[in-house]
Amino acid sequence: MEDHVRNPSLTGARIVLGVTGSIAAYKAVTLLRALVREGAVIDVAMTRSATKFVTPLTFEVLSGRPVTADLFQAHQEMKHLSLPEHADAILVAPATANFLAKAALGLGDDLLSTMLLTGRCPLVCAPAMDGGMWSHPTVVAHVEALRARGALIVDPEEGPLASGRIGQGRMAGEDRILDAVRAVLTPKRDWQGQRILLSAGPTQEPIDPVRYLSNRSSGKMGYAIAEAARKRGAEVILVSGPTSLPAPSGVEVIPVETAEEMLKQLSNRLSWSTVVVMAAAVADFRPRQVAPQKLKKQGRRSATLELEQTTDILSTISGQRTTQLVIGFAAETHDLLPHARAKLASKGLDLIVANDVTRPKAGFGSDFNAATLIDRDGHTTDIPLKSKRELADDILDAVRRLLVDSPTRRHGDLRKRR
């Protein structure tokens, strides 16, 4: 029997299949059949223009469920709320340039676009359009914005287009779309068996009982790595400077304030770990003396604070390690790569995540970041602006490759190689 699949890969998954007004809408019919064959329960939501290409009845018969196309009709049942609330993923295939624009901008003028605003589940889009449209700067910007927010965009393929031209615009093949849906529904467990010791957030170095020296770090990047690593099966201990972030679920958080406390807590747990990631923004200096009482102005117009250097935690940990991989960050405002390479070498790291903290929309406090990863062999990977949660997965992918490469390469060996 054609529809029989011995091991359906999407059993029980609830997916909203959004169909928008492209000639490729007819391909959504066979896509729907493939999704159903894989065991998924599909609710189809069509845009008005999609119904010009394929009738809702076709999808209704094949999905065995009512198809919704009209926000106002569907509103009585609050479908724009109930469908995404119960969905494990929203897949929009084909996704037109118009739909991508609405999704990127947050416009909600029909059922499907409104569902993106109410839903919190993963979004997969398979765009289909003429090649010239796909490469138009506006479409490129909208796709980039969606990716930055975590959407998985399955790039269209090269080939003859409905217009008769050749170009990149054909909706991706069924297998690539199914792989993308599986990827968002089945988190990788490739970090199982690894133990990550992670630092995040700023440190606070006291001046007196009411004042301290600190920096603008929000801790978001480190917390995103903790969450991603936990989801991928790692055990995670997070030594965190003061932040306003909730503890990621399943992660042991050890709160600290100063660089000295952070060093102590990390050193104590070093032998437990297999990977150390130093995402904290450690204060480089602290007041030489901490006043036991609040410092008073006492009529002075100016004051001088004498500072001393804090310990470089990363270099210390890197010197103490046995088999652990050690990953550092480089927060720079200029000459990003030369500074990052110098830190990679001087601190004896396996990988450094270099980021330009002056870049608009990225860095301290933002939910987004862009970075360049440089590994111990000099391989450099540029990661464009994306959510810190997505960047966390990219960093974990890169570290995972190093773990597979040389699980027990020692610090001494690393220094020799450079």
Q: Which residues are catalytic?
A: 215
Q: In the complex with ligand CTP, which residue's Cβ is closer, 40 or 353?
A: 353
Among 10, 91, 259, 336, binds ligand CTP (CB under 6 A): 259
Stretch that binds ligand CTP, among 71-79, 153-161, 305-313, 358-366 (CB under 6 A): 305-313
Backbone angles phi and psi of 367, in degrees to 5: -85, -5
DSSP, residue by residue, 116-132 = HHH--S-EEEEE---HH
In whole angstroms, what is the distance from residue 284 CA to residue 205 CA?
10
Residue in 275, 331, 395, 403 binding ligand CTP, rule: CB under 6 A: 331
Locate all alpha helices (DSSP H) within 249-327, ordered by sequence.
Answer: 259-269, 313-320
Interface with ligand CTP includes 280 (CB under 6 A)? Answer: yes
CB of 235 to ligand CTP, least distance (A): 21
Q: Which residues of 8-42 are buried (b: 16+ CB within 10 A; e: fewer)?
A: ebbeebbbbbbbbbbebbebbeebbbbbbbbebbb
The helices-and-strands tally (H runs, E runs) of the chain is 16, 19
Out of 147, 286, 321, 343, the only residue in the binding site for ligand CTP (CB under 6 A) is 343
99 vs 329 by CB, closer to ligand CTP = 329
Tell me the two tokens of residue 367.
Answer: 């939910």
* Residue from the set 40, 282, 344, 391 that interacts with ligand CTP by CB under 6 A: 282
Q: Which of 329, 344, 387, 403 touches ligand CTP by CB under 6 A? A: 329
Least Å distance, CB 413 to ligand CTP, is 21
> Does 328 interact with ligand CTP (rule: CB under 6 A)?
yes
Kindly state the smallest distance separating residue 224's Cβ from ligand CTP, in Å: 15
Distance from C-alpha of 240 to C-alpha of 243, rounded to nearest angstrom? 8
Asked if residues 269 and 237 have their Cβ atoms less than 8 Å apart, the reply is: yes
Locus of tokens 């297998």: 175
Smallest distance from the beta carbon of 215 to ligand CTP, in angstroms?
A: 9
- Span from 161-169, 187-195, 229-237, 312-320 in contact with ligand CTP (CB under 6 A): 312-320
Cβ 205 vs Cβ 213: under 8 Å = yes
Nearer to ligand CTP, 331 or 371 (CB): 331
The residues that touch ligand CTP, with contacts defined as CB under 6 A, are 259, 278, 280, 282, 284, 310, 312-314, 328-331, 343
